[in-house]
Amino acid sequence: MLRRIGSEQLQVGMFVARLGGPWINHPFWRARFLVASAEQIRQIQSAGVREVWIDLLKGRNVPAPEGGDAAASAILPSPPAPGAGESADAPSPATLEAEIVHARALLQSGKAVIGSMFADVRMGRALELSGALLLVDSASRSLSRHGQALLALARLKARGDDNYLHAFAVCALMIAVGRTLGLPDDEVRELGLAGLVHDIGKLTVPDAASRSGERTPEQDEAYRRHPSASYRLLNEARLYSNIPLDVCVHHHERVDGRGFPFGLIGRELSVHAKIGAICDTYDALTGGHPGHQPWSPARAMEYMAVRVDTLFDRRVFKAFSRTVGIYPLGTVLRLRSNRLAVVCAQNDADPLRPRVMAFYSVAQSRPVPNALIDLRHSDETVVAFENAADWGYTEEQLLELYAPAA
């Protein structure tokens, strides 16, 4: 049973069967989804959607007003759509600390969306992708407010959340790199969706085969089938977009032809697949999961840099480096003074000299009072990068140093 309501009446728990307004002809919005968060509602409204059809058999109805006045429960008029040239989605810049708060909430609400997609696959149901597009839009807005907050936070993977956060982290990275490359907005949006679903086929692979580390030949063969499984699942979901399909199948290909499943070389790969390969590899290296201890961001960047032109495309890697920084936010550096410092801000004009927060004396083997240092205007220099865990610090503890909670 469908009911048409104004988008301002939409509530968490309602099941959206159809959206009206300027997005109605966009193929991404043809799927149906359960509204899981207030952020989804805000995204629908900011997109200029004025009317929504809800399925009363699959979700909640508009609550009746007190007193049961049927006339009062009539559909209220929708707000006018943005006028010509008026942007409904222009987020204001935010400080790192403020955006970390927003990013935490986004990660939490997004978990339900991605978890629902994963559950669909495990239960053999067709994927519903409209909720995923709302999540992509939310990530895009976060990156517009602050270019590093979401990237830093998505790298902090909690036990049991690694698959979900890997999908979200790759989504955010691909959006950011697509913007750095100057790709059109619609392509960047599809890159974000590609990041969310790029490994969806792994859910069809036995657990032992999907883990990192050594595999038996049979397990390796099963693992190498997951890109094709992703493609099949997205086709069954009637995804009318080539970019997510392309990235799902080709993000394990390498420019020298040593990748899989087809052994394609650089000129046979799209820029979107090359972006997916780099973002997926970086997050896999920096994220902790069974069979792999997380690397520091700087170590991962170093590893990837020496494999440019063999595994990774040079142009895309340069864009990736500009996006996350030579020393990404949260990187632990050893300074000439023998202090450890965490990178807390990039210097675009001089990426080798970021702003850092010194917090530990190696010589004294103890924490020292925090000291903010801009390496562009200091005698301090970087002598090495370090792994936070080697010094007894977690990524969350470092986050409190460079983006303390309010």
Over residues 260-276, the pLDDT tens digits come to 999 999 999 999 999 99
Shared domain check, 274 and 183: yes
Residues 282 and 340 in one domain: no
Same domain, 265 and 351: no
- 369 and 292, same structural domain? no
Same structural domain, 336 and 293: no
CA distance 81 to 244: 30
pLDDT band per the 50, 70, 90 thresholds, residue 181: very high
Are 238 and 202 in the same domain? yes
Is 91 inside a domain boundary? Answer: no
Q: Are residues 319 and 338 in the same domain?
A: no
Q: Please list the alpha-helical segments (H only) found in 123-223.
A: 130-145, 149-154, 162-180, 185-197, 207-210, 217-223
The answer to whether position 265 is within a domain reads yes
Whether residue 35 is contained in a domain is answered as: yes
220 inside domain? yes
The DSSP call for residue 82 is P
Task: Identify whether residues 268 and 191 lie together within a single domain.
Answer: yes
294 and 345 co-located in one domain: no
The predicted structure's pLDDT at residue 238: 74
Domain boundary among 264, 295, 324: 324
Which residue in 200, 146, 199, 132 sits closest to 176, CA to CA? 146
Of 306, 324, 342, the residue at which a domain comes to its end is 324
Q: How far apart are CA 101 and CA 107, in angstroms?
A: 10
Judge whether 133 and 28 are in contact, CB under 8 Å. yes
> What secondary structure letter does DSSP report for 203?
G
Q: Does residue 396 share a domain with residue 284?
A: no
Eight-state DSSP code of residue 33: E
Rounded Cα distance between 160 and 163, Å, is 8
If one counts the domains in the chain, the total is 3
**Is 70 exceeded by the pLDDT of residue 289?**
no
What whole-number distance in Å separates Cα of residue 233 and Cα of residue 171?
A: 18
Domain, as residue range, for 390:
332-402
Q: Give 185-218 pLDDT, tens digit per residue.
A: 989 999 999 999 999 999 888 765 556 556 788 8
**pLDDT tens, residue by residue, 108-130:** 888 888 888 888 888 888 777 77
Neighbouring C-beta atoms of residue 6, cutoff 10 Å: 18
Q: What is the CA radius of gyration of the chain?
A: 23
**Angle formed by the axes of helices 185-197 and 271-286, to 10°?**
50
Measured from the Cβ of residue 281, the count of other Cβ atoms closer than 10 Å reads 21
In a domain, 149, yes or no: yes
If asked whether residues 251 and 369 sit together in one domain, one would say no
Distance CA 276, CA 48 (A): 30
